[in-house]
Amino acid sequence: MTLLSVQDLVKHFPVSGSSKLVKALNGVTFEIERGETFSLVGESGSGKTTVGRAVVGLIEATSGAIVFDGKPMSWKRNIRSPELRGRIQFVFQEPGESFNPREPVAAAMIEPLKYLGMNRSDRDRRLAEVLELIRMPMATAMKLPDDLSPGMLQRAAVGRAIITRPDLVVLDEPTSALDPTARAEIVDLLISVQKKMETAYLFISHDLSTVRFLTDRICVMYLGSVMETGPAEKVFLDPRHPYSVGLMASVLLPHPSLKTPERMKLEGEIPSPLDLPPGCPLASRCPLVEPACRERMPLPEYPQPKHLVHCINHHKLERADVVSDRFETFHTLSDRILRQGLPERVA
């Protein structure tokens, strides 16, 4: 059953002192099912974080529709509204910047419950349950944010997000500021929380190894537009959009013998979001470009069921050109590297 539906989401930011607009989002469409992990991936500036902030109501979309649990959301009906309060939560990239440095972490974790009208004894009981779930001792939770490691602080941020038992958690680069061990611990935590609470995740990241390990479905974005959407395994091992291929090829391989074929790389400069021409935003860099690509954004096509691609030439990408044996080996090694830091029951 669909929990969140985003349809033709557009967000343009005006440039101060100019008539130009930064076209951050240009018709983004996707859906998230209850209890699943849906990931947005792409380069910096692709619009991933803007989507997350629009979903939770931190910014107002220029146009488009966001429907949560069958009802439309708007600037007036968002996570601050009484009926939605606590049902959608957000985990920020930098946990140290989202906590009050002058109060204990436990006080920040319990804060959302006050706005739900929960009494003191029930709040304390819920806090104890969440601390057990995220494997954080009460003594640690009573410390100030500056006294905790980044990994432990991000663990507290996840605890604060799930303390209201939300239906959806938006996670904006939750592992990017962490070392490999802390990253593995947070991934393990997110998996265990989802199993127990059946919470859906909108996972925003450029860490493709973590995304592949954690996600059910993936959406590849470029310059505010959706390039490809589909099951994670399909998109990673058989990407059908030239940009998806280039994005996978940009990953640093974890062994010197694993070299990426040159034909998988994109060339040329990334266009400015201030002056995006009509058509596919990848047209200036795509080796498969045709005149029609420069005229309008290609309509979605479905090479396989539930696998959407905005490319009229996706059929020209043979699997031999997309994924070599070496690249499949990269995925295997990435999983192994991530699992080495996970507890034995997960690995």
Residue range 117-130, pLDDT digits in tens = 899 999 999 999 99
What is the rounded average pLDDT of the residues 100-119?
92
What's the pLDDT score for residue 271?
Answer: 86
Q: In this predicted model, which residue has the larger pLDDT, 327 or 188?
A: 188
Shared domain for 156 and 291, answered yes or no, is: no
CA 294 – CA 303 distance, rounded (Å):
22
CA 300 – CA 60 distance, rounded (Å):
26
Containing domain of residue 201, as a range? 30-49+78-87+170-347
Shared domain for 256 and 216, answered yes or no, is: yes
* Listed residue (72, 169, 81) closest to 63, CA to CA: 72
Give the tens place of pLDDT for each residue, 224-262: 999 999 999 888 888 889 999 888 877 665 555 555 555
Shared domain for 195 and 144, answered yes or no, is: no
CA 211 – CA 271 distance, rounded (Å):
26
Beta strands in the chain (DSSP E): 2-14, 21-33, 37-41, 63-68, 71-73, 88-91, 168-172, 200-204, 217-222, 225-231, 301-304, 307-309
Does 1 reside within a domain? no
Shared domain for 328 and 232, answered yes or no, is: yes
Instruction: List, in sequence order, every residue forming a beta bridge with 114; answer none if it has no partner.
Output: none
**Band of pLDDT at residue 77, cut at 50, 70 and 90:** confident
Q: How many domains does the chain have?
A: 2
What's the pLDDT score for residue 262?
Answer: 54
Shared domain for 151 and 193, answered yes or no, is: no
Helices 105-114 + 150-162 axis angle, to 10? 20
Q: In this predicted model, which residue has the larger pLDDT, 117 or 75?
A: 117
Shared domain for 111 and 158, answered yes or no, is: yes
Least confident of 33-47, 131-145, 276-290: 276-290
Collect all residues with Cβ–Cβ distance below 8 Å to 216 and sequence separation of at least 6: 36, 37, 38, 231, 232
CA 264 – CA 89 distance, rounded (Å):
38
What's the pLDDT score for residue 333?
Answer: 54
Shared domain for 34 and 150, answered yes or no, is: no
Does 3 reside within a domain? no
% of the chain exceeding 90 in pLDDT: 48
CA-derived radius of gyration, the chain = 21
Question: Among 124, 147, 163, where does a domain finish?
Answer: 163
Does 347 reside within a domain? yes
CA 16 – CA 302 distance, rounded (Å):
40
- Res. 330: pLDDT tops 80: no
Collect all residues with Cβ–Cβ distance below 8 Å to 36 and sequence separation of at least 6: 200, 201, 216, 217
Shared domain for 38 and 102, answered yes or no, is: no
Asked whether 45 and 52 are in contact (CB, 8 A), the reply is: no
Select the highest-mean-pLDDT range: 16-25, 39-48, 171-180, 298-307. 39-48
**SS3 state at 289:** coil
CA 82 – CA 304 distance, rounded (Å):
41
Asked whether 190 and 204 are in contact (CB, 8 A), the reply is: no
DSSP 81: S
**Band of pLDDT at residue 264, cut at 50, 70 and 90:** low
CATH number, residue 228: 3.40.50.300
DSSP per position, 183-221: HHHHHHHHHHHHHHH--EEEEE-S-HHHHHHH-SEEEEE
Shared domain for 158 and 267, answered yes or no, is: no
Give the tens place of pLDDT for each residue, 282-325: 998 888 889 999 999 998 888 888 899 999 988 877 654 445 44
% of the chain exceeding 70 in pLDDT: 87
Does 204 reside within a domain? yes
Shared domain for 159 and 261, answered yes or no, is: no
CA 164 – CA 285 distance, rounded (Å):
45
Does 290 reside within a domain? yes
Shared domain for 132 and 155, answered yes or no, is: yes
Does 152 reside within a domain? yes
- Res. 326: pLDDT tops 60: no
Cα-based distances in Å from 273 to 11, 292, 325: 12, 21, 36
Cα dihedral sign, 104-50-338-190? positive
Are β-strands 37-41 and 200-204 bridged in parallel, bridged antiparallel, or unpaired? Answer: parallel
What's the pLDDT score for residue 344?
Answer: 43
Does 67 reside within a domain? no
Structure tokens at 183: 């990253």
* Listed residue (38, 11, 39, 7) closest to 25, CA to CA: 11
Does 44 reside within a domain? yes
* Listed residue (262, 266, 267) closest to 326, CA to CA: 262
Shared domain for 182 and 206, answered yes or no, is: yes
Question: Among 126, 143, 163, where does a domain finish?
Answer: 163
Question: Among 117, 144, 163, where does a domain finish?
Answer: 163
Structure tokens at 90: 């957000």
